[in-house]
Structure 1
Amino acid sequence: MPLDPEAVLPDTLLEEIRSRAVGYDERNEFPHEDFDALVAVDYLKAFVPQAEGGLGAGLADVVRLQRRLAAAAPATALAVNMHLVWTGVAKVFADRGDASLDFVLREAAAGEVFAFGISEAGNDFVLFDANTVAEPTHDGGYLLTGTKIFTSLAPVWTRLGTFGKDASGDEPCLVYGFVDRDAPGWRHVEDWDTLGMRASQSYSTVLEGAVLRPERVIRRIPVGPSPDLLIFAIFACFETLLAAVYTGIAERGLELAVAAAHRRKSARNGGRPYAQDPDIRWQVAEMGLAVDAILPQLGTVAADVDALVDRGPRWFPALSGLKHRATETARAVLDGAMRVGGGAAYFRGSELERLYRDAAAGVYHPSDPESAHASVAAALLGPLED
């Protein structure tokens, strides 16, 4: 049976989390109290089977949970998202009969926290190539040297899922694995001072010969697009869970716009609420239509991943398109909500102002708008000719 999001994240917990969001944003500080509260309700064990102490959730369940959490505190949801991506990847593997990442679920059950150290400045190949160098060691492990950006959960992760390129042989390959926090050869740069999503504390991570032990190597994949299950699983979980976070932002923005329309009064209309103004009603309706359009797409994609639906090569345009639509919807809805909210929404500390800034981060996550359009165009029109 599907999980009940309200049972996992009750209103009382979400109101506490929401009440802290403004302070974490202002102080540019990791939401330690939120994180501890989520750990206490086994939220980070969402994908862990119930028999191992987890919630036994599927991707569709976690999508609903993340929408709900993001509506309260987007940066907290985005930070936790990166742990959920790796545990979701392990769930995708397990559902398809591949036990090679079962250790991720076991370690998550034991309290380990996984971070996502994939993105690199200037590397728009994302998963298909790496600037980070993976130097083989005599024991079958690697030393990783390079810089990863946007490493969310930086203050609390214990396992960093990352990758680099091993060019030592005839055929370069991409090496994926997990670096333990107590391993030597890495450091954080506390450079996260951003417009929005401030509490995620997504530091840059400098790998200076970081030790990737042989037993922590999970894949060696040729450079370039690959049919390997790991690539699909990362795309499926990363794009879908990101879409969930930004959809939650859009839903909260719409809720605040509706409240503002009822609360604000129009002197020109005899003191009647703006909810009775035809122009405001049109704007709110546009926001509602936008949110209604993304919800079925998000739900269907997540359910299809859970059901092992084989979309073949159509999966990648579907996933990148979902992420693009969700982030653009959030930006459009928050833009409209700011208009409906009036001048008060423009002041620092208002929830709409913070959501507006948080929504702006959506354009910087892979797949970016250019990549999403290129993927869909290739699916519809065929590849570009040389």
Structure 2
Amino acid sequence: MSGLSAELLERMRERAPGYDRENRFFDEDLAELRAAGYLRPRSLLESVRDQRLLAAFAPATALAVNMHLVVVGIARTLAERGDDSLEWVLADAEAGELFAFGNSEPGNDLVMWDSLTTAERVETPVAGYAFTGTKIFTSLAPAWTRLIVFGKQTDGPDGPRLVHGILTRDDPGVTTLDDWDTLGMRATQSRTTRLDGAVVPDARIVRFLPVGPNADPFIFALFANFLLLIGAVYAGIADRALELAAEAAHRRTSLKNGGAPYSADPDIRWRVADAALALDALAPQLETLARDVDEQADRGARWFRELTGAKHRATETARHVVDQAMRVAGGGGYRSSSELARLQRDVLAGIYHPSDTESVHATVAQNLLGPLP
């Protein structure tokens, strides 16, 4: 694995409860991951495996780091296909820059197909595009040095179109609010970002795309990296929940059954087995798709169906596994200080990441049945 020693992972597991309790950013984890070379570019398959392992020890840390790995992964996926337009992103990542995602917007359920943020052409103080709008769920908010954003240009002969670019921490017009106080995934500190005429110079504009769905390689790279890495994080949460369920089954004893451990109870054994059966299906799907992205396999029109399906299955399976683990653990798992209680809160975040359940089913239905008449 990429720098994830057993000692490092255990230190992060020890820090995770404190980050959660104090609603604090994972500064120490980030420093250690950076020093270990974890933020450097690598294959999607390696990243999926690494992130699943990391999430089993520090879920919120893994989720936040995902956003950096996604942006770097987009550049890597494009480069592997002969598109060198984002090679400078790979160079920045190698040099230690930290990338974050500034795409989500309140009230925008079209996600990447439209934007409520405006992108206006400007010539001063530099030639580029000025972005004005509100971005939410900006993970890594206290620490990012590069922020990928997009907005809609309606002025000029080229509008309307979507403009994608990358801001730096020093660019004027960027304000980060201190407003992150959530049920789970608290250490991500995914705060709101306000853009007020923040200018991205032409050299850091990465794509002009039409409004609405499109098959541009940039979009494919974004979906492939985002969806599979999100799935990996929630699979890692489920891995840890299953471990805790097995530990609880061996530890708890039943007075009804003469002091025998719950691991001998047929109902408890069924629950643990049921969780494991569901979880066992995730690695083949996530890793096969990641390998196919790396190897440039041709899945044609099935790509988006299978990518969104993998994310959906991973997040829903993780919720099921954590739920089964909570039932096996008994009342002790309901204490706010228990690791399982934190995993139960963290795993719920999976339902809010794109693509949501409705969008996934619409994508699959369109692939099988065609568009609505």
Once residues 209 and 190 of structure 1 are traced to their aligned partners in structure 2, the CA distance between those partners, rounded to angstroms, is 20
- 1:137 is matched by which residue type in structure 2? V
Once residues 68 and 79 of structure 2 are traced to their aligned partners in structure 1, the CA distance between those partners, rounded to angstroms, is 17
Query: What residue number does 1:130 align with?
Result: 115
Once residues 73 and 174 of structure 1 are traced to their aligned partners in structure 2, the CA distance between those partners, rounded to angstroms, is 35
Following superposition, the deviation at residue 124 of structure 1 comes to 1.2
Question: How far does the alpha carbon of each residue in 1:6-36 deviate from its partner, in whole angstroms, 9 at most, with x for none?
Answer: x621111111000000000000000100000
Following superposition, the deviation at residue 226 of structure 1 comes to 1.2
Question: How far does the alpha carbon of each residue in 1:259-294 deviate from its partner, in whole angstroms, 9 at most, with x for none?
Answer: 111111111111111010000001001100010111
Q: 2:39 aligns to what SS in structure 1?
A: helix
Query: What residue number does 1:301 align with?
Result: 289
Once residues 235 and 290 of structure 2 are traced to their aligned partners in structure 1, the CA distance between those partners, rounded to angstroms, is 13
Q: Does 1:145 align with 2:145?
A: no
Q: 1:29 aligns to what SS in structure 2?
A: coil
Question: What is the aligned counterpart of 1:38 among 29, 33, 38?
Answer: 33
Query: What residue number does 1:211 align with?
Result: 199
Following superposition, the deviation at residue 140 of structure 1 comes to 3.8
Query: What residue number does 1:283 align with?
Result: 271
TM-score, L = length of structure 1: 0.95
Following superposition, the deviation at residue 228 of structure 1 comes to 1.0
Q: 2:220 aligns to what SS in structure 1?
A: helix
Q: Does 1:232 align with 2:220?
A: yes
Q: Does 1:103 align with 2:88?
A: yes
Task: Work out the number of aligned pairs and report it.
Answer: 370
Following superposition, the deviation at residue 216 of structure 1 comes to 0.6
Once residues 283 and 197 of structure 1 are traced to their aligned partners in structure 2, the CA distance between those partners, rounded to angstroms, is 26
- 2:69 is matched by which residue type in structure 1? L
Following superposition, the deviation at residue 186 of structure 1 comes to 1.2
Following superposition, the deviation at residue 381 of structure 1 comes to 1.3
Query: What residue number does 2:19 align with?
Result: 24
Q: 2:181 aligns to what SS in structure 1?
A: coil
Following superposition, the deviation at residue 233 of structure 1 comes to 0.5
Once residues 370 and 245 of structure 2 are traced to their aligned partners in structure 1, the CA distance between those partners, rounded to angstroms, is 42
Query: What residue number does 1:159 align with?
Result: 146
Following superposition, the deviation at residue 230 of structure 1 comes to 0.7
Q: Does 1:352 align with 2:340?
A: yes
Question: What is the aligned counterpart of 1:115 among 97, 100, 123?
Answer: 100
- 1:330 is matched by which residue type in structure 2? A
Q: 1:178 aligns to what SS in structure 2?
A: strand
Once residues 134 and 311 of structure 1 are traced to their aligned partners in structure 2, the CA distance between those partners, rounded to angstroms, is 34
> Percent identical across equivalent pairs?
59
Query: What residue number does 1:257 align with?
Result: 245
Q: 1:82 aligns to what SS in structure 2?
A: helix
Tell me which stretches of 4 or more aligned residues in structure 1 moved more than 6 Å: none
Question: What is the aligned counterpart of 2:9 among 5, 8, 14?
Answer: 14
Q: Does 1:89 align with 2:94?
A: no
CA separation of 1:39 and 1:365: change in aligned 2, threshold 3 A: same
5+ residue gaps in structure 1?
Answer: 48-56
Query: What residue number does 1:69 align with?
Result: 54
Query: What residue number does 1:183 align with?
Result: 171
Q: Does 1:200 align with 2:185?
A: no
Query: What residue number does 1:314 align with?
Result: 302
Following superposition, the deviation at residue 213 of structure 1 comes to 1.2
Once residues 270 and 64 of structure 1 are traced to their aligned partners in structure 2, the CA distance between those partners, rounded to angstroms, is 43
- 1:88 is matched by which residue type in structure 2? G
Q: 1:311 aligns to what SS in structure 2?
A: coil
- 2:133 is matched by which residue type in structure 1? G
5+ residue gaps in structure 2?
Answer: none
Question: How far does the alpha carbon of each residue in 1:83-136 deviate from its partner, in whole angstroms, 9 at most, with x for none?
Answer: 000010111011101111110110011110000001111111111110000010
Q: 1:112 aligns to what SS in structure 2?
A: coil
Question: How far does the alpha carbon of each residue in 1:224-271 deviate from its partner, in whole angstroms, 9 at most, with x for none?
Answer: 111211100000000010000000001111111011111111111111
Once residues 369 and 107 of structure 2 are traced to their aligned partners in structure 1, the CA distance between those partners, rounded to angstroms, is 28
Once residues 295 and 312 of structure 1 are traced to their aligned partners in structure 2, the CA distance between those partners, rounded to angstroms, is 22
- 1:96 is matched by which residue type in structure 2? R
Following superposition, the deviation at residue 190 of structure 1 comes to 1.2
- 2:12 is matched by which residue type in structure 1? I
Once residues 137 and 8 of structure 1 are traced to their aligned partners in structure 2, the CA distance between those partners, rounded to angstroms, is 43
Q: 1:43 aligns to what SS in structure 2?
A: coil
Once residues 91 and 63 of structure 1 are traced to their aligned partners in structure 2, the CA distance between those partners, rounded to angstroms, is 14
